[in-house]
Structure 1
Amino acid sequence: MKVSFYVLSDSKAQDFLGFICQLTQTALNKSSQSLLILVGDDAELSSTLDEALWAQEATSFIPHQRLLANNTEGDDPEVDINKRLAPVLLGGYMPADFNGIVINTTAQPVNAFMQATSNAQPTRILELIKPDATSVQEGRNKYKAYQQLGYELTHFKV
């Protein structure tokens, strides 16, 4: 699996929501896969990002669906999650059958959000690292975790 780390400049970190929207749109333009923006239990980020995705540009929006907070979809679990939801998911957990791109905004590696009984198999992970000491340390910890799993790692300064 490929994991890309985006090390944000001060200006990109100041417009964190805008960068997430831009990265989401770029990923959608380059792939037909579903995309999950993983926010963990950060309800404030989830809410403000939800609004930002609907108003990404004056003439457009990024269609998305917020996942329920209680880790259940509320309907038939046999239905393929990748065919019944919007192309972009926003939530605090990894759906059991998810197999697309993950933008991770949390302090933990994506694997921490995958259940042992899950069939989730992300195809690519995009990690966002802000230029503060805490985020950099969290990024180093995630890098080591992914490295131990044998994932293909790249990083970009933006």
Structure 2
Amino acid sequence: MMQISFYVLSESKAQDFLGFICQLTQTALNKSSQSLLILAEDEALLSDFDEALWAQDASSFIPHQRLIANENTVDNIGSSLAPVLLGAYLPAEFNGIVINTTSRPVNDFITATSNTQPARVLEIIKPDDASVQDGRVKYKRYQQLGYELTHFKV
């Protein structure tokens, strides 16, 4: 069963959104051997994540790879050495951890033929009204699907 964790950000964490995502990515990688995907639909945000992950200090540099649309073949991902992927879609056969920064539930990104079933989803909820509202919609949707839900205020 898919586990979904909601991270409800405080104002200060939301102001350092990129820093928080990098920290969460590092923590998830430390606790698991699974690959991780940071899901974002905004190209500018993907670029920011790309830069932020490089900018971590040398001891905590996070190797990552940016997914390019239409290149989501299994060997492309399978041969990837980077444990962290950045993209606007879920690659076929992906079954690791997803950090979802989009306004939509992860299920919206899973196609019937892709055989994709993330082990765990980390939903990021910012303290603004739109993000909170999206979070409620996602929570209800996941609840209806019978997923295991937890939430943390950070």
Shorter chain as normaliser: what TM range? Answer: over 0.9
Q: Structure 2: any 5+ residue segments left out of the alignment? A: none
Correspondence for 1:63: 63
Correspondence for 1:21: 22
Contact 1:6 1:155 in 2 (8 A): yes
Write the deviation string for residues 83-129 of structure 1: whole angstroms up to 9, x where unpaired.
53410000000001101000000000001011111111100000000
The one-letter amino acid of 1:46's match is L
1:1-158 alignment runs, 5 A limit: 1-40=2-41, 42-57=42-57, 59-68=59-68, 70-73=69-72, 77=73, 79=75, 81-158=77-154
Secondary structure at 2:71 match in 1: coil
Higher helix share: 2
Q: What is the CA–CA distance in structure 2 between the aligned matches of 1:129 and 1:82, rounded to whole Å? A: 30
RMSD: 1.4
4+ runs deviating over 6 angstroms? none
Q: What is the CA–CA distance in structure 2 between the aligned matches of 1:84 and 1:52, rounded to whole Å? A: 20
Aligned in 2, Cα 1:101/1:109: closer, same or farther, shift over 3 Å?
same
- TM superposition score normalised by structure 2: 0.94
Aligned in 2, Cα 1:78/1:64: closer, same or farther, shift over 3 Å?
closer
Q: Structure 1: any 5+ residue segments left out of the alignment? A: none
Contact 2:36 2:83 in 1 (8 A): yes
- TM superposition score normalised by structure 1: 0.92
Contact 1:82 1:97 in 2 (8 A): no
1:71 is displaced (CA, Å) by 2.9
Contact 2:55 2:61 in 1 (8 A): yes
Equivalent pairs counted in the alignment come to 153
